[in-house]
C-alpha cells in the first residue's frame, strides 16, 4: 500500500479556490487539494475496501507515511486510517496517537484523534485513562484540550469517568498559570493566545454540554462546583442544552 494513490485521486478533483479557502479557514501551514470531505471519504473508502486483507501493522505504517506528508489532506487521511481500525487499537498504540496529538496544528485533527482514537482505547482498556492526567498538565495546550475530549466518546457509550472529568477540569481553569508556560511558539504561531484560551474554554463547555444529555443532574453539580471560575463561554456551552428544571438548580 502506498500513499501515492491518495495524491493521484485527490489531484484529479482538486479545486485551487477551495484549497485557498480551506487553508485560510484552518490556518494551516500545509498544502491543500481543495476537495470536499464527502469526496475525500469516497476515495479513502474505496482504497480501504480494495485492501481488506491488509493487517493492522500495514495500516499503521501507511498512517505514519501519510502523517509525514506536507498536504493537510494526507494528514487527515492518516487519522482516518486509524479511525477505520480503532477497535483494534491497544495501549501499545498510545505513543503514536500521542505523537499525532503533539504534532497537530489544527483542531480538526486534534478533535478527531481525541474522540475516535483515544476514546476507543480508553473504553477497551480503562487502565489507560491515566494518560489523561499526564496530558492535563502538559505545556502544549492541544494536549490539555485532549485531557477532556476523549470523555465525549466514553459518555456516548455510557462509560464516562466523572471523578476524572471533575479532576481534569479544575487545573484548566487556572489560565494564568498555563498560558504563561512555554508553548511551542514556532509551530503554533498561527494560533494567537486568545484563540488558544478559546479552545480550552470551549472544550470544558463541550464536555459538560455532552454530559448534560445523559446526566443533567451531575452536570449541574459540576457547574455549581466551578461556577465562579468558569469562563462565560464554558458556562454558556455547558448550560445550553440543560432542561429548564435543571437550570433552576444552578446557583
- Calculate mean pLDDT across residues 39-46: 94
Helix, strand, or coil (residue 71): strand
- Calculate mean pLDDT across residues 156-180: 91
CA distance 164 to 187: 30
Question: Tell me, what's the pLDDT at 191?
Answer: 76
Tens-digit pLDDT profile for residues 101-143:
999 988 999 999 999 999 999 999 999 999 999 999 888 889 9
Closest CA to 96 of 52, 71, 137, 61: 61
Question: Tell me, what's the pLDDT at 180?
Answer: 63
The alpha-helical segments, DSSP class H, found in the chain are 4-12, 16-26, 37-50, 56-67, 72-84, 94-103, 107-113, 119-124, 130-136, 141-146, 150-156, 162-172, 175-178, 193-214, 216-226, 232-239, 244-247
Question: For residue 50, what is its C-alpha cell?
Answer: 480494495
Q: What angle do CA 138, 140, 145 make, to 5 degrees?
A: 80
Question: For residue 222, what is its C-alpha cell?
Answer: 459540576
Question: Tell me, what's the pLDDT at 185?
Answer: 54
Judged against a pLDDT cut of 80, whether residue 184 lies above it is answered with no
Threshold 0.85, pTM exceeds? yes
Question: Tell me, what's the pLDDT at 196?
Answer: 87
Amino acid at each position: 500500500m502506498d500513499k501515492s494513490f491518495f495524491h493521484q485521486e485527490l489531484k484529479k478533483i482538486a479545486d485551487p479556490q477551495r484549497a485557498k479557502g480551506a487553508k485560510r479557514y484552518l490556518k494551516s501551514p500545509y498544502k491543500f487539494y481543495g476537495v470536499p470531505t464527502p469526496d475525500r471519504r469516497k476515495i479513502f473508502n474505496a482504497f480501504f475496501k480494495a485492501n481488506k486483507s491488509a493487517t493492522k501493522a500495514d495500516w499503521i505504517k501507511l498512517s505514519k507515511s501519510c502523517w509525514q506528508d506536507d498536504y493537510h489532506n494526507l494528514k487527515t487521511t492518516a487519522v482516518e486510517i486509524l479511525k477505520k481500525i480503532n477497535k483494534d487499537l491497544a495501549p501499545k498504540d498510545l505513543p503514536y496517537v500521542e505523537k499525532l496529538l503533539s504534532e497537530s496544528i489544527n483542531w480538526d485533527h486534534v478533535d478527531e484523534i481525541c474522540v475516535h482514537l483515544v476514546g476507543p482505547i480508553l473504553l477497551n482498556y480503562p487502565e489507560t485513562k491515566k494518560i489523561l492526567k499526564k496530558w492535563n498538565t502538559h505545556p502544549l495546550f492541544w494536549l490539555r484540550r485532549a485531557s477532556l475530549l476523549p470523555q465525549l466518546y466514553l459518555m456516548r457509550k455510557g462509560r464516562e469517568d466523572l471523578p476524572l472529568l471533575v479532576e481534569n477540569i479544575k487545573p484548566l481553569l487556572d489560565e494564568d498559570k498555563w498560558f504563561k508556560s512555554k508553548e511551542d511558539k514556532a509551530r503554533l504561531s498561527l494560533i494567537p493566545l486568545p484563540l488558544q484560551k478559546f479552545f480550552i474554554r470551549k472544550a470544558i463547555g463541550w464536555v459538560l454540554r455532552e454530559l448534560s444529555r445523559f446526566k443533567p443532574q451531575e452536570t449541574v453539580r459540576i457547574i455549581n462546583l466551578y461556577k465562579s471560575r468558569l469562563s462565560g463561554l464554558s458556562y454558556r456551552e455547558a448550560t445550553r442544552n440543560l432542561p429548564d428544571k435543571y437550570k433552576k438548580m444552578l446557583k
